[in-house]
Amino acid sequence: MTRLPSLITVEAEMAQDDKSDDAPTPEELSDGIARLLTEVEDAFASDRWAILDRGSEHVTWLLYDGAALRHCCRLLYEMEIAAAARLELAVRLLARAHLETWLTGLYIHYGGFEAVERVAQDTRYALEATDHEARLFDQWLTAEQKSARKRARKVEQANKGMSQWNKANPEGPAKAMLDEPYVPQLQPTGLDLSDRIAAFGDYEARSLPVSEIVDALTKLAPEKAFGRESFRPLYLIYRVLSTIGAHASLNILEAYLNPGPSGRFIRIAPLPANGSMIDNARITALHGTAFLASAVLGEQGSPTPVADEIRAWLMPDPTGRAAWAPGV
C-alpha cells in the first residue's frame, strides 16, 4: 500500500512556518491561563452569579451561557495539565473538545434562548439514538440466546442418540458428535433513557452538527457585532483535530512510522513523530476562552480585565502577521 501524506506533518509544518519572534512562549501561555481561570472563578463565586431560578427563558439561557464558559475553562485547565506532562494526544483531544464547546458557547451566548432550544433538540436526538440502539441490542441478544439454547437442545438430543448408537454398534464406524452452538453470555444493557428523554418535553429531536453551528455564527457575527469574518476556517480546524487526534485514521497512524537512515526499513515509534501541536492548541484555546469570558461575564457586569488583556494580546491578524494566534 502506498503510504499517505500525513495531516499531522502538514499541520506541524504550518505551525513551524507560522512561528514569529512575537509568538507567546510556553511560560507566557501558562501564566495567561492561570490568571484567566482565576478571574472566571472569582466572577462565578460572586453574588452577581447567584441566579434566582425563576424558570424563565432568560434565566435558563443565562445558566447555560455560564455553564458553557465553565466547561471551556475546565477543558482549558485540563489541557494545561496535559501540556505540562507533554501528553501530546491528550492535548489534541482536549483541543477538539474545547473548540466544539467554545463554538457551542458562542452560539448559546449570541443566539439566545433559541440556541439553547436547538442544543436541547440535539441532546434529545442523541439520547433517543442511544436508547434506540440499546433496545435493538437487548432485543437481538434475547432472541439470539433463545434461538441458540433451542439449537443446543436439539444438538444435545442428536448427540445423545448418536452416542447410544455408537455404544450399541462398537464394530462399526463411530458417528461424529455435532458441535454445540455457542450461546451468548452477555447480559442485556438494561439501559433505559426514557425518563431523561421525557424531560425534554415537546422538543423535537433534531441533530445539530458543528457545521450548522459554524454557519449560524457566521450569520450572527455581524448582526451581534462580535466578528466580520466567516467561522468556516474554525470548522476546518475542528475537522483536522478530529483527524489527528480523535479518530484512529491512517493520518494518525502514519505519525508512528519512523523510517531509518537508509529509508529501507521502518520502525514503529513510541510516540507520534511529526511535531507537536501543544502550544498552538493552547494559544487557540486561551484566546477563545478569553473571548467567551469577556462576553459572558462582561455583559453581566463582572469585571474582565484579564480576559480583555488576553484577547488583545492574542488577537488574530487577518494580514497573516500573527498567524500563530488563530481565532475568530
Grid look-up 444438538 returns: 155
State the cell numbers at 75: 477543558
Tell me what the mean pLDDT of segment 111-121 comes to: 98
β-bridge partners, 259: 266
Give residue 321's pLDDT: 52
pLDDT of residue 12: 46
Cell of 203: 422538543
Angle CA 146–150–155, to nearest 5: 145
pLDDT digits (tens, 9 = 90+) for 76-85: 999 999 999 9
Confidence bin at 318 (pLDDT 50/70/90): low
- Helix 88-168 to helix 57-84 angle, to the nearest 10 degrees? 90
Q: Is the separation of the CB atoms in 298 and 292 below 8 Å?
A: no
Q: Label residue 251 by pLDDT band (50, 70, 90).
A: confident
Least confident of 65-69, 209-213, 252-256: 252-256
Name the nearest CA neighbour of 274 among 35, 6, 48.
6
Where is average pLDDT lowest: 22-31, 113-122, 158-167?
A: 22-31
The mean per-residue pLDDT over the stretch 23-42 comes to: 96
Report the number of secondary-structure helices (H) and strands (E) in the chain. 10, 2
Mean pLDDT for 184-211 is 96
pTM for the structure as a whole: 0.86
pLDDT reported for residue 21: 55
pLDDT in tens, 130-157: 999 999 999 999 999 999 999 999 999 9
Average pLDDT, the chain: 90
> Mind giving me the DSSP string for 228-297?
SS-SHHHHHHHHHHIIIIIS--HHHHHTTEEE-TTSS-EEE-SS--S---HHHHHHHHHHHHHHHHHHHH
> What's the average model confidence in pLDDT over 225-235?
91
CA pair distance 211, 217, nearest whole angstrom: 10
User: What mean pLDDT do residues 225-242 have?
Assistant: 92
For the ranges 9-18, 191-200, 303-312, the lowest mean pLDDT is seen at 9-18
pLDDT score, position 320: 56
CA dihedral 320, 323, 325, 328 (to 10 degrees): 50
DSSP state of 176: P
CA distance 158 to 54: 71
Distance between CA atoms of residues 69 and 73, nearest Å: 6
Answer whether residue 278 shows pLDDT above 80.
yes
3-24 pLDDT, tens digit each:
444 444 444 444 444 445 578 9
